[in-house]
Chain A
Amino acid sequence: MEQLKELLFQLCSAAGTPGDENLAAQQAKQALEPYCTDITIDHMGNVIAFMGDPHAERQVMLDAHIDQIGMIVTQIDGDGFLHVAPCGGVDRRVLPGAPVTVYGNETLTGIVCCLPPHLVEDDGNKVEPVDKMAVDLGLTKEEAERKVSLGDRIIMKCEPRTLLNHRVSSAALDDRAGCAAVIRCAQLLHDKPLKCGLTILLSTREETGSQGAKTGAFRIFPTEAIAVDVSFADQPGVAAYKCGKLGAGPMIGVSPTLDREMKDKLVHIAKDEEIPYQMEVMGGSTGTNADAIGTTQSGVRTALISIPLRYMHTPVEVVDLEDIERVAKLMASYIHHR
Chain B
Amino acid sequence: MANIKLLEQLCALRGISGDEEAVRDFIVEQITPYAERITIDAMGNIIAEKKGAKPAKTKLMLNAHMDEVGLIVTHIDDDGYLKFAAVGGIDKRVLCGRSVIIGNGVHGVIGAKPIHLLHSEERGKAVPINDMYLDIGASSREEAEKAVHLGDSVCFHSLFDTQNGMIRSRALDDRAGCAILIDMIQSELPYDMTFVFCVQEEVGTRGSRTAAYQVQPQAAIVVETTTAADIAGVPSEKHVCSLGKGAVISFMDRGTIYDRAYYDLALDTAREEQLPYQIKQAVAGGNDAGAIHATRDGVRTIAVSLACRYLHSAVGQIAQDDFHSAEKLIMKLAARIAGSEQV
Contact = CB atoms under 8 A, between A and B. Distances in A.
Interface of A: 77, 79, 81, 83, 89-99, 108-109, 111, 113-120, 124-129, 132, 134, 136-139, 143, 156-159, 161-165, 167, 169, 232, 235-238, 242, 246-247, 287, 310-316, 318
Interface string B98-130: 110000001111111111110000011111000
Contacts of B125: 93, 125-127
A98 B170 CA distance: 11
Chain A at the B interface: SS class:
loop
Contacts of A134: 231-233
A157 B113 contact: no
A123 B147 CA distance: 35
A126 B112 contact: no
Nearest to A311: B111
Nearest to A312: B114
Nearest to A132: B233
A242 B117 contact: yes
Contacts of B93: 93, 96-97, 114, 120, 124, 127
A164 B112 contact: no
Nearest to A143: B164
A115 B159 CA distance: 21
Contacts of B232: 77, 79, 81, 83, 113, 134, 136
A137 B112 contact: no
A93 B314 contact: no
B145 to A, nearest CB: 11
A26 B59 CA distance: 64
A111 B310 contact: yes
27 contacts: A83-B232, A91-B112, A92-B123, A113-B232, A114-B94, A114-B310, A116-B227, A119-B238, A124-B93, A125-B126, A126-B125, A129-B124, A136-B309, A138-B164, A138-B243, A157-B159, A161-B99, A164-B144, A236-B79, A238-B113, A238-B114, A313-B114, A313-B115, A314-B111, A314-B112, A316-B111, A318-B135
Interface in B139-155: 139, 143-144, 147
Contacts of A164: 106, 136-138, 143-144, 147
Given A113-B233, A162-B107, A232-B114, A138 B315 contact: no
B161 A92 contact: no
A111 B317 contact: yes
Interface centre among B96, B99, B126, B137, by most chain A C-beta atoms within 10 angstroms, is B137
Contact of A94 (B96, B161, B229): B96
B243 A97 contact: no
Nearest to A109: B161
Contacts of B89: 117
Interface in B299-315: 309-315
Given A91-B97, A161-B99, A169-B99, A236 B81 contact: yes
Contacts of B106: 164
Given A126-B126, A237-B131, A316-B111, A115 B233 contact: yes
B111 A318 contact: yes
A82 to B, nearest CB: 9
B141 to A, nearest CB: 13
B264 interface: no
Contacts of A310: 111, 135
A93 B240 CA distance: 26
A81 B163 CA distance: 15
A95 B232 CA distance: 15
B35 interface: no
Nearest to A100: B315
Given A164-B144, A232-B117, A235-B135, 17 more contacts: A93-B125, A97-B93, A114-B91, A114-B310, A115-B231, A116-B311, A124-B91, A136-B231, A138-B319, A159-B99, A163-B135, A164-B143, A232-B114, A312-B114, A312-B115, A315-B97, A316-B110
A48 B234 CA distance: 48
A51 B134 CA distance: 42
Contacts of A235: 111, 113, 135
Given A157-B159, A314-B97, A165 B113 contact: no
Contacts of A89: 115-116
Contact of B109 (A132, A136, A247, A318): A318
Given A163-B135, A232-B117, A235-B113, A94 B233 contact: no
Given A97-B310, A114-B310, A109 B168 contact: yes
Interface centre among B125, B227, B284, B310, by most chain A C-beta atoms within 10 angstroms, is B310
Given A117-B91, A134-B232, A238-B113, A126 B97 contact: no
Nearest to B109: A316
Given A94-B112, A115-B234, A132-B233, A165 B143 contact: yes
B165 interface: yes
A60 B116 CA distance: 30
A158 B99 contact: yes
A249 to B, nearest CB: 14
Contacts of B75: none
A138 B166 contact: yes
**CB-CB nearest 10 A-B residue pairs:** A94-B97, A163-B137, A311-B111, A134-B232, A167-B137, A316-B109, A138-B166, A164-B137, A97-B94, A97-B313
A128 B232 CA distance: 13
Interface centre among A79, A91, A159, A318, by most chain B C-beta atoms within 10 angstroms, is A91
Contact of A318 (B137, B234, B243): B137
A120 B144 CA distance: 36
A85 to B, nearest CB: 15
Given A98-B314, A242-B117, A313-B115, A126 B124 contact: yes
Given A118-B284, A134-B231, A157-B159, A316 B139 contact: no
